[in-house]
A and B are shown apart, each in its own frame.
Chain A
Amino acid sequence: MKDLKNRRPRAKKDKAGTAFAMLRSKAERQVKAEGGPEACGKGRILHELRTHQVELEMQNVELRKSEEQLLESRRKFADLYEYAPVGYLTLGETGLVLNINKTGVMLLRTRRDLVERRPLSSFIHRKDWPEFYEHLKSVFARGTKQTCEIAMKRPVGGEFAAHLESIAFEAGGPRRANALVAIIDITEKKKMEKELKQLLEERTARLKNFEDKNTELRGVMFKLSEAVKEKNALLQELNHRTKNNMNVISSLMAVQMKSIQDPGMRQIFKESQNRIQSMALVHEMLYQTKELSEIDLKSYLDRLARHLLAGYREKGIGLELDLDPVPVSLYVATPLGLIINELLSNAVKHAFPEDSKQGIVKLTLKKEGPYVRLSYEDNGIGLPKGFQIKDGSSLGLKLVDGLVINQLLGTLELDGIRRRRKGTRITVSFNKERIEGKNGQ
């Protein structure tokens, strides 16, 4: 029998050797503590055997511990594999599924045994086979990570979009290459992409529609603005022609006046001419200011009054104006012009029979909201006692009354009627908006 000591593994100065040596001395300490047989003769052999037995028992315990540790470690790695957040499988070179993790099985909604040993292509939509085989080919040919997107189908029906990431690795001996494949369900991502694409297409279509409409509108706007320009030009022209025609009438009257000797008749002609000119001035101002339908009453009355009094320059009547700017339409300007024409003509004829050089005529124009008030004042002899405007023989004041009441729908106030006192004041008031908002045609 060989010395048991010699059967022990040789103590090497490596880790394992050290471990054995430690184990041996530990076993010896334990046998000693138990109070084993003497270390000589049979006793020595018994002691050796006992020590060896203890040593083996200890080794056994250590081995069990190691095995448990190994199992635990394997479980951990298996869990990492099985429950990875992506489907994970190993493919043979021909595309056969060698094994698949739980997530992969769950992705395919099937059983593991129905996947393993079957070609992965049976879970791939036929239309994507060419792409899948191309992918597989490049995985084994290149040896680097390859990706592809394909439609996968489930044995129970239905399909999902999958992203594959695959890499080849050498397995078990020469020329045996497998591929590790990760399968990621990208259905949601695809759906979102599709929705986004659709949204983008819709938006683009809408944008195009807007752009088309915009272009169309711009065209219409252009046409409209051209039409408006043309209409404005025509209106301008019309104002110009109206003014010219009125001037022609006025000139004709002037020509005819030459053959009239009677001062009374000449006066009638002169007054008619003034009336025509006061109307012509409205059109002239409309033409000059480029405004189509409104003129400023302040400028109009200013020009009209100066023009009228200039026609009677020899009388030397002074003019005072206190006029607020009031924009008005033709409907208001024309009758007001005629009214001022009549009042000033009347003043020239009757207000200052003695010394007209001392005479002053004042016009005041004020506006409060829609109400316009135009006052005429002079420092002349005043109106005759008991004067009634309607009974007056003069067409002038009859016109003033008729124009204020019937055309301006306003009121007329006369001061200085009761007694012949110094001066006359006539005030015309009306609602500008009532006249300008005409009803019907």
Chain B
Amino acid sequence: MKKRKALIVEDEYIGALGLVDMFELWDWDVCPIASTGEKALEIAEREKPDIVLMDVSLHGSLSGADAARLIRQRFGIPVVFMSGYSEDEVRQLAGGKGEFHFIGKPLDPEMVKEAIENVLARKKRSRNLKN
């Protein structure tokens, strides 16, 4: 079975490193870490990950919310936001339209796993419905 692939967008390198370890432990492939929204778009296009974990607060001209919207629109890849801010605050930043997935920081491996499985299951269901 083909390994699933995750893209981590995070400008705190050590935090990202922890997530990479987490995914590798679950036997996922992990794309190179992206620390800006622009880099995230570039890697998402090239690597076509199954899921994107997106920090809301990023360097550069693209915010996490903007990058997430573009990734969903252009490549149809589900995005899970990660933030130390509350879910409501992040939902507001994300624009409040369409799908919204969120995991609060500090990250708990079990919570991350559960959120990701949910998102992927939902994606699979909607794909089946379309077919």
CB distance from A392 to the nearest CB of B (A): 14
Distance in angstroms between the alpha carbons of A407 and B14 in the assembled complex: 9
Q: Which of B14, B33, B58 lies in contact with A440, CB distance below 8 A? A: B58
B58 partner residues in chain A, CB cutoff 8 A: 438-440
Distance in angstroms between the alpha carbons of A438 and B11 in the assembled complex: 10
Distance in angstroms between the alpha carbons of A440 and B83 in the assembled complex: 12
> Would you list which residues of chain B between 83 and 121 have a CB under 8 Å from chain A?
83, 85, 89, 93
Would you call A440 and B11 a contact (CB within 8 A)?
no
Query: Which of the 9-residue segments B22-30, B41-49, B61-69, B71-79 touches chain A?
Result: B61-69
Would you call A402 and B59 a contact (CB within 8 A)?
no
Would you call B61 and A406 a contact (CB within 8 A)?
no
Cβ-closest chain B residue relative to A435: B59
Would you call B33 and A439 a contact (CB within 8 A)?
no
CB distance from A107 to the nearest CB of B (A): 79
Would you call A438 and B59 a contact (CB within 8 A)?
yes
A98 within 8 A of B: no
A438 partner residues in chain B, CB cutoff 8 A: 57-59
B17 within 8 A of A: yes
> Would you list which residues of chain B between 1 and 42 have a CB under 8 Å from chain A?
11-14, 16-17, 33, 35-37
Q: Mark A408-441, 1 if CB is under 8 A from B, else 0.
A: 0100000000000000000000000011001111
A399 within 8 A of B: yes
Distance in angstroms between the alpha carbons of A441 and B35 in the assembled complex: 14
Number of interface residues of A (CB under 8 A): 15
Would you call B63 and A440 a contact (CB within 8 A)?
yes
CB distance from A301 to the nearest CB of B (A): 19
> Given known contacts A335-B13, A440-B65, A441-B85, is B35 in contact with A406 (CB within 8 Å)?
yes
Distance in angstroms between the alpha carbons of A335 and B14 in the assembled complex: 9
Would you call A402 and B93 a contact (CB within 8 A)?
no
| Interface of A (DSSP majority class) | helix
A405 partner residues in chain B, CB cutoff 8 A: 35
B56 within 8 A of A: yes
Would you call B63 and A406 a contact (CB within 8 A)?
no
Distance in angstroms between the alpha carbons of A407 and B10 in the assembled complex: 9
Would you call B57 and A407 a contact (CB within 8 A)?
no
A434 partner residues in chain B, CB cutoff 8 A: 59-60
Distance in angstroms between the alpha carbons of A399 and B14 in the assembled complex: 8
A403 within 8 A of B: yes
Would you call A406 and B57 a contact (CB within 8 A)?
no
CB distance from B13 to the nearest CB of A (A): 4
A440 partner residues in chain B, CB cutoff 8 A: 56-58, 63-66, 93
Distance in angstroms between the alpha carbons of A439 and B56 in the assembled complex: 9
Distance in angstroms between the alpha carbons of A438 and B65 in the assembled complex: 14
Would you call A439 and B13 a contact (CB within 8 A)?
no
Which of B13, B33, B58 is packed against the most chain A CB atoms within 10 Å?
B13
Cβ-closest chain A residue relative to B66: A440
Distance in angstroms between the alpha carbons of A440 and B68 in the assembled complex: 13
B14 partner residues in chain A, CB cutoff 8 A: 338, 399, 402-403
Would you call B93 and A406 a contact (CB within 8 A)?
no
CB distance from B105 to the nearest CB of A (A): 12
> Given known contacts A402-B33, A440-B65, A441-B85, is B17 in contact with A409 (CB within 8 Å)?
no
B36 partner residues in chain A, CB cutoff 8 A: 409
> Given known contacts A440-B63, A440-B64, is B35 in contact with A407 (CB within 8 Å)?
yes
Would you call A406 and B65 a contact (CB within 8 A)?
no
Q: Mark A378-400, 1 if CB is under 8 A from B, else 0.
A: 00000000000000000000010
Would you call B13 and A441 a contact (CB within 8 A)?
no
Distance in angstroms between the alpha carbons of A399 and B16 in the assembled complex: 11
- Ranked 10 nearest A-B pairs via Cβ: A440-B63, A406-B35, A402-B13, A406-B13, A407-B13, A439-B63, A441-B57, A403-B13, A440-B57, A406-B33
Interface residues of B (CB under 8 A from A): 11-14, 16-17, 33, 35-37, 56-66, 83, 85, 89, 93
Q: A409-B35, A439-B59, A440-B64 are known; give 6 further A-B pairs, CB within 8 A.
A: A399-B13, A403-B13, A409-B59, A434-B60, A440-B66, A441-B56
**A–B complex contacts, Cβ < 8 Å, 28 sampled:** A335-B13, A402-B13, A402-B14, A402-B16, A402-B33, A406-B16, A406-B35, A407-B11, A407-B13, A407-B35, A409-B35, A409-B60, A434-B60, A435-B59, A438-B58, A438-B59, A439-B58, A439-B60, A439-B61, A440-B56, A440-B57, A440-B58, A440-B63, A440-B65, A440-B93, A441-B83, A441-B89, A441-B93
